Amino acid sequence: MTDYVNASDYLVDRHVAEGRGARLALTGPAGDITYSGLHAMVGRAANVLRELGLQPEQRIVMFMADTPEFVTVYLAAMRIGAVPVPVSTMIRADGLTEILHDSRARMLAVTAGFTDVATAAAPKAPDLRAVLTSGGPGPEPKRDGAVRWYDWDELTMAADPDATCYPTTPDSPAFWLYTSGTTGRAKGAMHRHASVEAVCSTYATQVLGIRPDDRCLSAAKAFFAYGLGNSVLFPLSAGAAAILEPAPARPDLLVRRTRTHGATLFFAGPTFFANMLRAQLPEDSLRGVRLAASAGERLPSALYHRWTSRFGVEVLDGIGMTEMLHIFLSNRPGQVRAGTTGVAVPGYDLRVVDDNERDVPVGTPGTLLVRGASTATGYWSRYDASRQVFAGEWLRTGDTYVRDEDGYFTCLGRTNDMLKASGIWLSPSEVEARLMAHPDVEQAVVVGAADRDGLEKPVAFVIVRRGAAVTEQDLTAFCREGLPAYALPRRVRMVDRYPTTATGKVRRFELRAAASALLAEPPGRAQAVTT
């Protein structure tokens, strides 16, 4: 007999069925919503999506802020067997068009503030049939070529709840998350319905020890795999509450939300933790928070000690991947070893291997491999990329690690040239392409280097047109016009030539050393770069 598993049922319906409907599910600026209220909202939304023609396994791209509407669309789509695809609200129209085209999405859901981008992108997506706008003024309902625009709030208010769930199985497609991952080009990691319970029963339950009385607040947004777990999957799996913040994360704002809504679990990344220290927040800012978690990039030991000393809250540094859905390697409460990424999360197996994928001895660096039940089934329509990353039961993380005698793992950096800036995968080629679009730039090479807090940031080395008077400030401003904030080079240094190998390849490791020196000095100070 086939086992039917639907993530929407697991996250919402079972709480109502087991008598927990009156418990708080969502809170934040939009108000309080109980599990019974969320159940009704999801049922109405599911009915609307069916009526609009969204069919099982068809995709609905979610270009949405962290709001109750985000949670509702995500759950309702899975409820009817369709595939929600949350995407970054930081991308521009061309990026949204690319994802709509690649995913062959039939629908696009948008919250207020992002309708201009959607308006520019939607007409260029050949398979798109409907755009659903929510949470504020948007375009009037209209037909834009083959695309019909709808007022989502109006439709769902008039709909009757539908209590049925499509009979998905553990291996049915549940949702996709786009990532540049370890190979540069954006691609959709496909996750199963069973993956949701897998991450909730491992990291959330056995590492965080999440409880029904917890309230989760995340600086990372829910379109990230990390934020999706923090703000949707984990709290709803435990019958706890999520504090949803639609605005961009700022230290002062999240501290206010912590106090107003009683956060007990706080999730962020090292860059945000560093920003909290720079903001000179009061030492009791996180009063009531029992535990913090960090992921997205390595948490330097010095930053860990500075942050915990000021705020008095333990931070569990861990590593996860979009392809693994959430964290699979983490420190544990009361057992943190600062500067390490901790030990394997229960339910996951780890290996450190050499270039031939043979296990290396303890204390020897190698590439980290992981396996576990939350692994994506592969990348959508990316055969070669899938073969590079998904190796049978094992997934190649692309990170270089070393393991000690006690089973603690320490990250030594990326195995290739990809870098993480503010916890987001960034391909140097994206920044290089933008710089080379400037009329005065002839060549550009971008590398990652650690700043004063030990956090990885992009640094650019450019060769400009002879006689050009372009400055570092000019190029930074040019990048700001065409790149999201996390991708902006923190320094831009003009050079006459690049260090190269005998075969003419740029010696990036030398540029990384020069980049580290640049980030260690105040911006604007002269610094010689040996090339």
Cβ neighbours for 134, distance < 8 A, ≥ 6 positions apart: 64, 67, 69, 109, 110, 111, 112, 151, 152, 153
- At 414 the three-state DSSP class reads strand
Domain span at residue 93 reads 7-11+35-169
**283 shares its domain with 410:** yes
**139 shares its domain with 230:** no
- 422 inside domain: no
- 27 inside domain: no
User: Phi, psi (5° rounding) for residue 268?
Assistant: -160, -170
Q: Which of 385, 414, 443 is the last residue in one of the domains?
A: 414
**143 shares its domain with 115:** yes
Q: What is the pLDDT of residue 80?
A: 98
- 293 inside domain: yes
**123 shares its domain with 164:** yes
Give the other-Cβ count within 10 Å of 308's Cβ: 16
- 18 inside domain: no
Q: Which of 134, 169, 204 is the last residue in one of the domains?
A: 169
Q: Are the C-beta atoms of 459 and 491 separated by less than 8 Å? A: yes
Q: Are the C-beta atoms of 314 and 291 separated by less than 8 Å? A: yes
Q: Are the C-beta atoms of 449 and 512 separated by less than 8 Å? A: yes
Tally of structural domains, the chain: 3
- 480 inside domain: yes
Cβ neighbours for 465, distance < 8 A, ≥ 6 positions apart: 439, 440, 441, 442
Cβ neighbours for 485, distance < 8 A, ≥ 6 positions apart: 90, 422
**151 shares its domain with 232:** no
Q: Which of 111, 134, 169 is the last residue in one of the domains?
A: 169
d(CA 380, CA 103): 8
Q: Are the C-beta atoms of 318 and 294 separated by less than 8 Å? A: yes
Q: What is the CA radius of gyration of the chain?
A: 23
- 360 inside domain: yes
**81 shares its domain with 199:** no
- 23 inside domain: no
Q: What does DSSP assign to residue 344?
A: E
- 30 inside domain: no
d(CA 386, CA 77): 25
**247 shares its domain with 272:** yes
**145 shares its domain with 291:** no
Q: Are the C-beta atoms of 430 and 418 separated by less than 8 Å? A: no
Cβ neighbours for 453, distance < 8 A, ≥ 6 positions apart: 270, 274, 300, 302, 303
**195 shares its domain with 319:** yes
Cβ neighbours for 259, distance < 8 A, ≥ 6 positions apart: 287, 288
Q: What is the pLDDT of residue 500?
A: 73
Q: One digit per residue, pLDDT tens: the chain, 531 residues?
A: 568 999 999 999 999 999 999 999 999 999 999 999 999 999 999 999 999 999 999 999 999 999 999 999 999 999 999 999 999 998 899 999 999 999 999 999 999 999 999 999 999 999 999 999 998 655 555 566 678 999 999 999 999 988 889 999 999 999 999 986 544 568 999 999 999 999 999 999 999 999 999 999 999 999 999 999 999 999 999 999 999 999 999 999 999 999 999 999 999 998 889 889 989 999 999 999 999 999 988 888 888 998 999 999 999 999 999 999 999 999 999 999 999 999 999 999 999 999 899 999 999 989 999 999 999 999 999 999 999 999 999 999 988 899 999 999 998 877 767 777 888 878 787 898 899 889 998 888 899 998 888 888 999 999 998 888 999 999 999 999 999 999 999 999 999 988 875 445 677 888 999 999 999 876 544 343 333
**445 shares its domain with 406:** no
151-158's contacts with Cβ under 8 Å and 24+ in sequence apart are 152/48, 152/69, 152/109, 153/69, 155/48, 155/52, 156/41, 156/44, 156/45, 156/48, 156/72, 157/44
Q: Which pair of tokens denotes residue 306? A: 């500075």
CATH code of the domain covering residue 477 = 3.30.300.30
d(CA 168, CA 166): 6
**460 shares its domain with 408:** no
CATH code of the domain covering residue 45 = 3.40.50.980
**261 shares its domain with 382:** yes
Q: Provide the β-strand partners of residue 217.
A: 243, 266
